[in-house]
Copies of this chain bind each other. A is one copy, B any other.
């Protein structure tokens, strides 16, 4: 009887899924403007067997930048809030920080002054707050922090600061046989503890910047210790390098955002795939529902125009930005 019982259950599931597929708009938070139309047309043509643009499921790789593309990066990237809280926590063990930049400014709450030191200052903060413990200890710190930390203006948990249209896009792509990856300049070990729950993207599909680690036996157990040494910076021209290192194939869909030109190389790399491809560039132009900001040199928008990438203007193309919105 068991096989028959199982089969009936599976028929019910099949029928339910058919109904769902036919009844629902997979991208309800997108307005019916050019980007949504381009996404649906692209997914339909690459998944239609016999179509000249058909792409086998194993080649359906989609790569997404994280900060500003999947979640909010204003007033500053969320990993910096984490680092700042870690600096405060560690300050009692570092009396010298009171007179040492960038820590002195950070402890006074002046992030702008702390960041005046540019990349070097950022690196010092990351090394001081993200290394010296095991990977398991760091994972627990991130999980504990993200469970309670709140965004300063919306007062929402940071995990609610994700863009609802992108959550829908990720699910829509996966329902069509795509494998979805994050390819972010952010820290790989900062993202992995929560990306599976929040985006449905498992740790092995997260590519990011990283420090070196060292294998050690502690109390008879193997651990990996996080060293104060850079392993890889997954930003700008580093993104195609990271994609090749980690994924080993070119994506056919790639999404980035206007912030620092950090996604231009990734989108070009995606476009060089020999089959059909789609590139999305998120533009932050909604000062009411999110934050409005641009690049001083407009490099990302210029690259989008020159290469025919689809610009997603949050103001007009997204019906809803955050799930918690009441607008």
Contacts and interface: CB of A to CB of B under 8 A. Distances in A.
A206 interface: yes
A95 interface: no
A105 to B, nearest CB: 33
A250 B213 CA distance: 15
A198 interface: no
A10 interface: yes
Given A203-B248, A215-B241, A222 B272 contact: yes
A244 B135 contact: yes
B221 A245 contact: no
Interface stretch (A11-19, A117-125, A294-302): A11-19
A244 B179 contact: no
Interface string A235-255: 001101100111111000000
Interface residues of A, number: 45
A51 interface: no
Copies in the complex: 2
Nearest to A217: B268
A192 interface: yes
B248 A58 contact: no
Contacts of A47: none
A54 interface: no
Contacts of A326: none
Given A222-B265, A265-B215, A204 B7 contact: no
Contact of A248 (B179, B192, B268): B192
A233 to B, nearest CB: 12
Contact of A246 (B11, B22, B196, B246): B246
B248 A206 contact: yes
Nearest to A202: B58
Given A6-B18, A203-B248, A231-B245, 11 more contacts: A3-B18, A10-B10, A11-B11, A189-B248, A204-B204, A204-B249, A213-B241, A215-B237, A222-B268, A224-B240, A224-B241
9 contacts: A3-B22, A7-B14, A10-B10, A58-B196, A58-B202, A204-B205, A204-B248, A214-B241, A224-B241
